[in-house]
Amino acid sequence: MYDKTIDFIRDIYSTKDFIPLHEPKFIGNEKYYLNECIDSTYVSSVGKYVDKFEEMISEYTKSGYAVVTVNGTAALHIALLLAGVQENDEVLTQPLSFIATCNAISYCGAKPVFIDVDKDTLGLSPEKLDSFLQENAIIKDDGCCYNKITSNRITACVPMHTFGHPAKIDKIISVCKRYNILVVEDAAESLGSKYKDKHTGTFGKLGIYSFNGNKTVTCGGGGMIVTDDKKLAKKSKHITTTAKIPHKWEYIHDEIGFNYRLPNINAALACAQMENLDKFIQNKRELAGMYKSFFEGIGIPFLNEPDNSYSNFWLNGIIMENREERDIFLDYTNSHGVMTRPIWRLMNKLSMFKECLSSGLENSEWLEERVVNIPSSVRINQKSAI
């Protein structure tokens, strides 16, 4: 089975060389825009491509406003601050996530509380969320939600659209609304994915995307905050640019700010990538279809898009029978030049989060032992396309 899988992946990518998990593809105006950016001398956080990138994301996702940041973690940090997360608050999230989710929560001085995921979406379970809040939450006279166990305020909820597969975000928001908890979507991996014909990242009060080197669209780094709230958008742009008040010559800053603005040279790359996003997603969906047919043929479950969803299939995944089989598969494929990776170690098992509250993580633990990501790069010949 292992050799058959390796041969199939090599046939898909038409190579006997090393196959990475996910590599960027530059097939359009990347070099042209970069050269134009360099020629203009505007290579830092001021330049036309920074504004253009924001406009492209806002238009593509149909969000009211988009504010670019230096990376996805920075975007989530600012989004949480704008959602009112403060020191010693609690933020509900899932343990099955990349470390950046919990890092951003920690930057605010808050603590994550881990709620289980659904097996079909790999995203936060609205039913488990509802059960946790019914048992542990109380609304006090100030209108805020508090944890009856810790007495800490529960300010926000951060579901993640894992590997580009949408969570049941409408149900999550419905639950949180009853408890006055703001939803901040971690859509870092799901640009272009939709749930019930609406873009992920645009359901909550705020949402964020990532443009890291391994994402469907990349500019080497980069993140984006999206919201329909004009006031929050204005505030996010202000504090991500050191909270400087515009003036002809004076340096006046009216609060603690962050140097989180994306450089123009990165934004130039991103604009060129955005022009091919739909092509990339279509290519990745075709790849997912081939994988699904192959793995079903040899009796291995494939992580398909959930109901009511249109997934960008950022990373394709399969489900092995148990942890032992997972580790054998990982060892064999990586030893034979095909890069595969397990799903992340659960956040509640990391030393810095092991004391955080968690609630019934059976699905997360089951998935952690079995899920393997397989090569998911766009299959376009980069050299001939430029």
Please write the tens of the pLDDT for every residue from 214-232: 999 999 999 999 999 999 9
Answer yes or no: is 245 within a domain. Answer: yes
Lowest mean pLDDT, pick from 37-51, 52-66, 99-113, 297-311? 37-51
Answer yes or no: is 386 within a domain. Answer: no
Examine the fold and report which residue of 224, 257, 274 is the final residue of a domain before the chain moves on: 274
| Same-domain check for residues 68 and 17 | no
d(CA 349, CA 182): 26
Answer yes or no: is 260 within a domain. Answer: yes
Query: Residue 9's domain is classified under what CATH number?
Result: 3.90.1150.10
CA distances from 335 to 53, 316, 329, 338, 369 (A): 40, 20, 10, 7, 20
- pLDDT for 385: 43
What tokens were used for 307?
Answer: 């109901």
Answer yes or no: is 384 within a domain. Answer: no
| Same-domain check for residues 179 and 314 | no
| Same-domain check for residues 247 and 287 | no
| Residue 265: pLDDT band with limits 50, 70, 90 | very high
| Same-domain check for residues 6 and 110 | no
> Are 125 and 117 within 8 A, CB to CB?
yes
| Same-domain check for residues 264 and 330 | no
Per DSSP, the chain holds a count of helices (H) and strands (E) of 13, 16
| Same-domain check for residues 102 and 138 | yes
| Residue 382: pLDDT band with limits 50, 70, 90 | low
Answer yes or no: is 130 within a domain. Answer: yes
Answer yes or no: is 176 within a domain. Answer: yes
Q: Which residues on neighbouring strands pair with residue 27, listed in sequence order?
A: none
d(CA 267, CA 274): 10
- pLDDT for 384: 44
Phi, psi torsion values for 137, nearest 5 degrees: -105, 150
Residue 346 CB coordination number (10 Å): 19
The pLDDT of residue 386 is above 50: no
| Same-domain check for residues 251 and 375 | no
Q: Is 68 helix (H, G, I), strand (E, B) or coil?
A: strand
| Same-domain check for residues 86 and 200 | yes
Q: Is 268 helix (H, G, I), strand (E, B) or coil?
A: helix
| Residue 46: pLDDT band with limits 50, 70, 90 | confident
| Same-domain check for residues 14 and 85 | no
> Are 312 and 192 within 8 A, CB to CB?
yes
Number of domains in the chain: 2
- pLDDT for 342: 98
Examine the fold and report which residue of 274, 299, 322 is the final residue of a domain before the chain moves on: 274
Q: Strands 65-69 and 223-227: what pairing?
A: antiparallel
Query: Residue 161's domain is classified under what CATH number?
Result: 3.40.640.10
| Same-domain check for residues 216 and 324 | no
> Are 312 and 288 within 8 A, CB to CB?
no
d(CA 145, CA 172): 16
User: Residue 186: CB partners within 8 Å, gap ≥ 6?
Assistant: 76, 93, 97, 101, 158, 159, 160, 161, 207, 208
Nearest CA to 317 out of 328, 306, 304, 336 is that of 304
Residue 322 CB coordination number (10 Å): 10
What tokens were used for 70?
Answer: 């230096």
The pLDDT of residue 319 is above 90: yes
Average pLDDT over residues 43-67: 95
Nearest CA to 163 out of 186, 184, 181 is that of 186
Q: Is 171 helix (H, G, I), strand (E, B) or coil?
A: helix
Crossing angle of the two packed helices 2-13 and 323-335, in degrees rounded to 10 = 50
Examine the fold and report which residue of 224, 249, 274 is the final residue of a domain before the chain moves on: 274
Average pLDDT over residues 299-315: 97
Q: Strands 206-210 and 223-227: what pairing?
A: antiparallel
Q: Strands 153-158 and 145-147: what pairing?
A: antiparallel
Average pLDDT, the chain: 96
Q: Where are the beta strands (DSSP E) in the chain?
A: 65-69, 90-93, 111-115, 137-139, 145-147, 153-158, 182-186, 194-195, 198-199, 206-210, 223-227, 309-310, 316-319, 341-342, 358-359, 371-374
Answer yes or no: is 385 within a domain. Answer: no
The proportion of the chain whose per-residue pLDDT surpasses 70, expressed as a percent, equals 99
Crossing angle of the two packed helices 264-274 and 30-40, in degrees rounded to 10 = 150
The pLDDT of residue 90 is above 90: yes
The pLDDT of residue 164 is above 90: yes
d(CA 252, CA 235): 16
What tokens were used for 284?
Answer: 């990745």
| Residue 45: pLDDT band with limits 50, 70, 90 | confident
The pLDDT of residue 383 is above 90: no
| Same-domain check for residues 73 and 95 | yes
The pLDDT of residue 76 is above 80: yes
- The pTM of the full predicted model, rounded to 2 decimals, is 0.95
Q: Which amino acid is at 15?
A: T
- pLDDT for 42: 87
| Residue 122: pLDDT band with limits 50, 70, 90 | very high
Determine the structural domain holding residue 345 and report its residue range: 2-23+276-379
Average pLDDT over residues 17-24: 97
| Same-domain check for residues 264 and 335 | no
